[in-house]
Amino acid sequence: MKYDLLVVGAGIVGLAHAYTAARRGLKVLVLERDAACVGASIRNFGFVTVTGQKAGASHARARRSRQVWAEVAPLAGIDVVHTGLFLAAERPEAHAVLEAFMATEMAEACELLSPAEAADRNAALRTEHLQSVLYSPHELRVESRTAIPRLTTWLATAHGVEFRFGEAVLAVDTPHVQTARASYQAERVVVCGGAELNGLFANSWLPHRLRMCQLQMLRVRPEPGFKLPASVMGDLSLVRYEGYSELKEASALRARLEQEEAASLAHGIHLIVVQSADGSLVVGDSHHYGPVLPPFASEEVDALILRHLRTSLHIKSVEVTERWVGTYPSSATEPCLVEAPAANTRLVTVTSGTGASTAFGLAEEVFKNW
């Protein structure tokens, strides 16, 4: 059977391209080497982050992706668990970064709250040591483990997208695609292989000097009744997210953090906390880089993450119920990459850990320019 578009990879980047193509009336097939999506797309926070994305194209992609998530989620039976972001500034230097951010176009609809104002809106926040809190209404949170399968099912039932799981793609020479089981034909092919850098089109990625990034995350169960109305971040996020870190005021904050939080910076830690429908919290994360990374989680890293959790929230008990690692390709210079090895073939990867936040906007760009 012939298809208008064949997508390699059923993570969020591949699904975003499948959705965008199906909305245009194209006949779409998605091939996934694993029996289910088990990579970065289900190991993340499910946190659709807009505020703090790199100024320019990345921020625009995130704004558009947030719109698509809001449209698609109710149709696909995906619960939006909570909305918004509280970014707490503990140090005066962090407050200065937030003040600078509020002067940018990216701060549209955001508010800079006093600690007292933030406490009124989010009783879970520990505000006694804070300088200020940035509140953004833009962020969405979905449960990745269920959202990705439900999005897949909805694409199949509502848009006629076909899926073949457990079928590794061996070669692409558009219009021909060879897998370990069959041969297919498609007018166009988009390869969204995620963390697979040494397989299909490996030579295309070599000039970009990509590394793998590995992160540690935890699920913790707080005391019964604990409620987090929105996602939470802290000072360390301001030197990690480029929408903040590229502001000139961020250099003073980084200098202070290098003195006071050297271990956290060394492990690439910044706090993100989100809550699931069952009351548990997903907490992270760390960032380690290399050509290949050992699959062993560090207790030291988990302890640092949990320390930041305890100092940020009024939380009496922290029972860790799950620990895991995630991986994604990382570029030191580019938030995403789109390569065109042939006229009707595209290679697409997100290289900044923002697949859930930017994939829908990125997919629309790919088709607009193709």
Low-confidence ranges of the chain (pLDDT < 70): none
Note the pLDDT of residue 314: 96
Note the pLDDT of residue 199: 87
Phi-psi category of 313—alpha, beta or left, where left has phi over 0 and alpha has psi -120 to 50?
beta
Note the pLDDT of residue 44: 86
Note the pTM of the prediction, 2 decimals: 0.96
pLDDT tens per residue, range 238-249: 999 999 999 999
DSSP string, 109-134: T-EEE-HHHHHHH-TTB--TT-SEEE
Note the pLDDT of residue 254: 98
Dist CA 76 CA 154 (whole Å): 5
pLDDT tens per residue, range 57-78: 999 999 999 999 999 999 999 9
Note the pLDDT of residue 146: 94
Looking from the CA of 145 toward its CB, the CA atoms found within 13 Å total 5
Peptide bond into 229 cis (omega under 30): no
